[in-house]
Amino acid sequence: MNIRKFLNFFGVFSVLFVNVSAQNKALFDAGEEPRLISRQFAFTEGPAVNKAGNIFFTDQPNNRIWKYGNDGKLAVFMENAGRPNGMYFDRKGNLIVCADEHNRLWKISPDGKVKVLLKDLNGKLLNGPNDLWVDKKGGIYFTDPYYQRDYWTRTKTELEGQKVYYLVNSAVQPVIADETLKKPNGIVGTPDDNYLYVADIGDGKIYKFNIDTDGTLDDRRVFAEQTADGLTLDEQGNLYAAGNGITIYNPKGQKIAHIAVPEPWTANVCFGGKDRRTLFITASKAVYVMKMNVRGVE
């Protein structure tokens, strides 16, 4: 490498380093790390925050939904919860759940009453709804990868492909939002309903889509080259990708920070608390929290 190329490279590297360092300071204080809340679970997933800032999450193998309150206390919200996976609160305070036991979508009211929103796809079992996001109109985008479960009687899918679906508010059946991904998993949209991010865990990529006014998706492009599970966003438009800890990307898809989590796998993440500045992390048999300087957008 000649000296001019070296100086150009070093200059670019320096700018990137300064930007990353500055962004890290804006996101969380130096020395801040995830704090363990509990390690009493079998496998945690699906964190979702309600309007008050309380966080609900799943322990799928034990078939429970838990609540982590603003008071810092843990409590079981629901037993026999349909083998819950991904979850998200709608604008009316209902908890929308990927109920993996019978491959359905549930709506759980604040008082714990269950309504089945979707039980099949034109008479065929869904692969297993994994994660979801609810737009401002009440429509539900959800991913449907196939992961064989030991509590199923079937041993293969009834559908062709593993897709992203959109269930229009009050519709009986969903429409296909995307059928090009290998194994879509984590999913989240921007608060203005303009963009949707989907983690394709089978392809090791995170994709970004435009959302049209009718809910359809177009202009698919690679946002980041990473094998990721759950996703969330902060008020600056940064994307948080769970997997090997939490990797944070700015809106341009540039990696700006990484949060190490001392567990084999980090499944999902969301912002909670009254001020939405608590990062809540589900990781293998544990859950963690971390104080942030930015708010989430849930």
pLDDT of 18 strictly over 50:
no
pLDDT band at 9 (very low <50, low <70, confident <90, very high): very low
The per-residue pLDDT for range 249-275, each reduced to its tens digit, is: 999 999 999 999 999 999 999 999 999
Q: What's the whole-model pTM score? A: 0.91
Predicted pLDDT at 1: 40
Predicted pLDDT at 7: 33
Gap between the Cα atoms of 218 and 187, Å rounded: 15
pLDDT of 198 strictly over 80:
yes
The per-residue pLDDT for range 112-142, each reduced to its tens digit, is: 999 999 999 999 999 999 999 999 999 999 9
Is residue 111 domain-resident? yes
Q: How many CB atoms lie within 10 A of CB 120?
A: 13
Is residue 297 domain-resident? no
What mean pLDDT comes out for the span 68-79?
97
The separation between CA 269 and the C-alpha centre of its own chain, rounded to angstroms, equals 6
Is residue 17 domain-resident? no
Predicted pLDDT at 250: 97
Is residue 105 domain-resident? yes
Predicted pLDDT at 298: 65
Residue in the structure block whose two tokens are 């589900």? 282
Is residue 190 domain-resident? yes
pLDDT of 19 strictly over 50:
no
Buried b (16+ CB within 10 A) or exposed e, 210-219: ebeeebebee
Gap between the Cα atoms of 85 and 81, Å rounded: 10
pLDDT band at 70 (very low <50, low <70, confident <90, very high): very high
The per-residue pLDDT for range 208-232, each reduced to its tens digit, is: 999 999 899 999 999 999 999 999 9
Separation in Å, CA 112 to CA 59, 76, 94, 109: 17, 12, 9, 5
pLDDT band at 4 (very low <50, low <70, confident <90, very high): very low
Q: What's 262's DSSP letter? A: S
pLDDT of 14 strictly over 50:
no
Q: What is the CATH number of the domain that holds 53?
A: 2.120.10.30
The per-residue pLDDT for range 145-160, each reduced to its tens digit, is: 999 999 999 999 999 9
Residue 12 or residue 247, greater confidence: 247
> Which residues fall within 8 angstroms of residue 3, CB to CB, at 6 or more apart?
none
Q: How many domains does the chain have?
A: 1
Is residue 248 domain-resident? yes
Buried b (16+ CB within 10 A) or exposed e, 79-111: eebbbbbbbbbbeeebbbbbbbbbbbbbbbeee
Residue in the structure block whose two tokens are 């079981």? 76
pLDDT of 178 strictly over 70:
yes
Is residue 144 domain-resident? yes
- Of 161, 145, 166, the closest CA to residue 100 belongs to 145
Domain range for 286: 32-291
pLDDT band at 170 (very low <50, low <70, confident <90, very high): confident
Q: Let me know: does 199 contact 187? Beta carbons within 8 Å.
A: yes
Is residue 27 domain-resident? no
